[in-house]
Structure 1
Amino acid sequence: MGILQWVAIAAVLVGVAAAFVVWRLLRARNMEIWIGSYLRRQMSRAPRVTDRPVHVMFCFVDHFEPMWHGADLETQRARVDRWCRDYRTLASVHRDADGRPPQHSFFYPEEEYAEEHLDKIAALCADGYGELEIHLHHDNDTEANFRESISRFCKTLHERHGALSRDPATGELSFGFIHGNWCLDNSRSDGRWCGLNNELILLRELGCYADFTLPSAPSDTQTRTINSIYYATDDPQHPKSHDDGVAVHVGGSATGDLMIVQGPLGLNWRDRRAGLVPRIENADVRRGCPPTAQRVDDWVRTGVHVEGRPEWVFVKVHTHGTQETDMDTLLGPATDAMHAHLERAYNDGERYVLHYVSAREVYNIIKAAEAGKEGDPNAYRDFVLPPPKSSWAGAAQDSARAAA
């Protein structure tokens, strides 16, 4: 065998070894689920050419869990009180193009209900700083229990705390949803932390207008569909029916069982492990991954949008707001700087226009885009679903502020 043949064999072996290492790295973070979709999107992405300003809808959703790690009542109260105090201070100095402060969507866990905590958060929302939605952790659940739990919680949130709005067409209460442990539609590979293969159908029937769980990477619950807004159709015989679906598009209509609103997901090449391996950018905000200006730019650049309306960009980021290790980041200088960067870089009125939006407003603006509306999305914050009772006072304050 000649030297060239040995070189060729060695090259093949090196290539195989490298491929194996890459595959192991991907599998270690469950990236094999979505990396193909990410690479295809990167290769097919065309430069955005538009003579219209790009409207950036910034939505912060929070897995808000005062009882995290089995905290005692004193700790729970301290967590909620800090949010109600410090978030007002933080948000009150920031405004979007419409004169509104940042809007925080508190997805509160059904299984952690405590009237005094919800009263405080509802008051914060009534002051114009956000809205309440539904979060749920469950395991090995049954359809009957799920229906009863969600229905009861919707009624409680609405009647006792002024949260959730009624669908004008049906009169039923409507809610946005985040699944605890990321396991929407029984999507974890071992079947834990859900138990319902027909969860999308159940959510639709119970009044859920959209799911805001994703992205969930590096969890194996992450879907292969990424950076998208789409309708998923449930297959009650199989889990993870939202792995793919039909993209929401201009001129379309609701197709399937549930709208899935995803946040940005990709690779962060600026922050690499050992200087080599890119970290996953999954729009999570906490102490270990603060909301830097570079991350904000990446989120906007991802360009999540309704097909046919690329000049309306949706940036949905998430957190677990009541964990002490992260609250200094979420309620302090890092998040203050994030909003300052958004207002400086994405609110010049010519190239970009910034809108702070709640989860409900995201849904309304998506539906407006689907219906063919264009121009200023601020006009469509309440396009389908009206504000909940708790935000009427805040809306009145915003209107008076804008008029002034």
Structure 2
Amino acid sequence: MKLPRHAELWFPGYFRDRTRHLLGRPAPKRLWVSITDHYEPLCQKATIETALQRVARWQEMWPRIADAAPRDAADRMPCYSFFYPQEDYRAELLDPLAEMTRQGIGDVEVHIHHHKETAEGFIRKISDFCRRLRNDHGLLHDHRGRMVFGFIHGNWALDNSRPDGLDCGLTGEIELLRDLGCYADFTMPSIPSPTQGRIVNQIYWCTGIPGRPKAFDRGIEASVGGGTQGDLLMITGPAGLRFEGRLMPRVEMGEIAHNDPPTEHRVRRWLDLSPQVGDEMFLKLHTHGAREDNADALLGTGGRPGGLEQMFRWLNEETQRRGIELRWASAYDMFCAVEALTGPLYPGSRLTSELAGMPAGER
């Protein structure tokens, strides 16, 4: 069997995870589901007019899909997490996302594409962007008295993880994110990129060696009552192989897209691969939903239902079949659910930063 490029990075971890799974893990009692969108309305060199049309389509269609979805065990609708790129900030593109956030069906977190970055430049960019999100749009969350954010790295190159140093350049990014107020990173998996980490299908703490890139290659798995055990919490999506009637397997990495839409088989595979903390399971999916081809697949087009509508129904049916309580979650909700299991995370002054002086107040 021919494995995908760079499988040497993740396949040993996948093999260990499958072995552990076969030996038995606690039967999950609850499933948390979060969709983390690398939401880039200006991607593919789009004009501002095209970007506005892309956002308007989501503002029109997503509330309908969320309202039609099965309610979870807490009688909540799905909540979509838009990880918006810092370098593409435009107030008119954020305002509709903020409106969906106020409706309780959306949330906005931090995304960035950068190259040849410096620590000073990164601190300034993230700090200024978070201030804008909070002060101009009422976004981001307060946690234990300070503002925090979730993070996805553009081009997957978290912590200077590309061997050629492109698309980041900033070794030590994990520690900077921690100090700036990042509550968790949601970048992985990134198969088949060489940026892919060696730890798969776990929620874990980065314990990389200071001064070396790709600190998320080493870590300690989050555990019930374990609290903070490293620099930054990594919430990863499902990663592995699936066959689905194929002779040769396809890589599963929790991405929903026009060329890999949700299916009932994928839903079942996600529940087999997703990480657990104790008897609670965490399914983090990702997409690039602003571009038209993926938006067609997710939202529907020409009167045909989109993949999101079907996926929510299949997840509800599968969790009912397995006797698992279903919870829809934003990225922040998922972090809070992990913290409820592990005990208080980032205690004391771990999240001190330039952001500490920002206006407080829960949304």
Shared fold (TM-score greater than 0.5)? yes
Equivalent residue in structure 1 for 2:11, among 20, 25, 35: 35
In structure 2, the partner of 1:147 is 123
1:312 matched to which residue of 2? 280
**1:383-402 map, 5 Å:** 392=363
Q: 1:79 aligns with which of 49, 54, 72?
A: 54
Aligned: 1:296 with 2:264: no
Separation in structure 1 between the aligned mates of residue 209 and residue 319 of structure 2, nearest angstrom: 40
Is contact 1:97–1:347 with CA below 8 Å preserved after alignment?
no
Corresponding residue for residue 101 of structure 2: 125
Q: Residues of 1 paired with 2:361 and 2:239: CA distance? A: 32
Residue 369 of structure 1 is matched in structure 2 by: 341
Q: Which letter does structure 2 place at the counterpart of 1:359?
A: A
Q: Could you say which residue in structure 2 is the equivalent of 1:377?
A: none
How far 1:390 moved relative to its partner? 11
- The corresponding residue for 1:398 is none
**What's the counterpart of residue 160 of structure 1?**
136
In structure 2, give the amino acid aligned to 1:233. T
The amino acid of 1:59's aligned partner reads: S
Query: For residue 205 of structure 1, what is the amino acid of its counterpart?
Result: D
Residues 49/176 of structure 1: CA separation in 2 closer, same or farther (3 Å cut): closer
Alpha-carbon spacing, 1:47–1:236, altered in 2? closer, same or farther (3 Å): closer
SS of residue in 1 equivalent to 2:255: coil
Cα displacement (A) at 1:40: 2.1
Q: Separation in 1 of the partners of 2:238 and 2:195?
A: 16
Check the 8 A contact 1:125/1:391 in 2, yes or no: no
2:75 to 93, 99, 104: 99
Paired position in structure 2 for 1:12? none
Question: Per the alignment, do residues 390 and 70 of structure 1 end up closer, same or farther by CA in structure 2, a change over 3 Å counting?
Answer: farther
- Structure 2 residue 31 is the aligned partner of structure 1 residue 56: yes
Question: Residue 353 of structure 1 aligns with which residue?
Answer: 325
Partner of 1:402 in structure 2? none
User: Structure 2: any 5+ residue segments left out of the alignment?
Assistant: 345-358
SS in 1 for 2:103: helix
- Output the CA distance in 1 between the equivalents of 2:319 and 2:209: 40
CA distance in 1, matches of 2:32, 2:263: 18
Where is the helix percentage greater, Structure 1 or Structure 2?
A: 1
TM-fit CA distance, 1:100: 0.9
Q: Which residue, out of 273, 289, 292, partners 1:324?
A: 292
> Does the residue aligned with 2:244 lie in a helix, a strand or coil?
strand
Residue 296 and residue 231 in structure 1: after superposition, are their counterparts in 2 closer, same or farther (change >3 A)? same
Contact kept, 8 Å, 1:122 with 1:390, in 2: the verdict is: no
Cross-structure match for 1:227: 201
How far residue 259 of structure 1 moved from its aligned partner, in angstroms, is: 0.5
Return the match for 1:192 from 166, 174, 188.
Answer: 166
TM-score (structure 1 length as normaliser): 0.81
TM-superposed CA distance for 1:337, in Å, is: 0.9
Q: Identity across aligned pairs (percent)? A: 41
Q: Does 1:340 align with 2:313?
A: yes
The Cα offsets for residues 14-51 of structure 1, whole Å up to 9 and x where unpaired, read as: xxxxxxxx5xx43x52111111111122123234565x
For residues 325-368 of structure 1, the C-alpha deviation after alignment (integer angstroms, 9 at most, x for no partner) is: 111111122221111111222147x8111100011111111011
| CA spacing shift, 1:69–1:271, aligned 2, 3 Å | farther
Aligned to 1:270, what secondary structure does the other structure show? coil
d(CA) in 2 for partners of 1:265 and 1:182? Answer: 15
- 2:217 aligns with one of 237, 243, 246: 243
Q: Which residue of 2 aligns with 1:278?
A: 249
Distance of 2:252 and 2:157 partners within structure 1:
19
Provide the C-alpha distance between the structure 2 equivalents of 1:347 and 1:222, rounded to a whole number of angstroms.
33
CA distance in 1, matches of 2:125, 2:171: 17
Instruction: Tell me which moved more, 252-261 or 103-112.
Output: 252-261
* CA displacement at 1:234 relative to structure 2: 4.2
Q: 2:89 aligns with which of 108, 113, 116?
A: 113
Q: 1:266 & 1:139 partners in 2: Cα distance?
A: 30
Query: Given residue 184 of structure 1, which amino acid in structure 2 is its aligned partner?
Result: L
Q: For the aligned residues, what is the CA RMSD?
A: 1.9
Decide whether aligned partners of structure 1 residues 390 and 268 sit closer, same or farther in structure 2, where only a CA change above 3 A counts.
Answer: farther
Summarize the Cα distance change of 1:318–1:227 in structure 2 as closer, same or farther, 3 Å threshold: same
The verdict on how the C-alpha distance between 1:66 and 1:364 changes in structure 2, with shifts beyond 3 A counting, is same
Q: Which runs of 5+ in 1 are unaligned?
A: 1-21, 373-387, 393-404
Provide the secondary structure at the position in 2 that maps to 1:184. Answer: coil
Q: Which residue of 1 aligns with 2:348?
A: none
Q: Secondary structure at the match of 1:186?
A: coil
SS at match of 1:29: coil
Distance 1:60 1:389 in 2: 26
Q: Is the 8 Å Cα contact of residues 206 and 232 (structure 2) preserved in structure 1?
A: yes
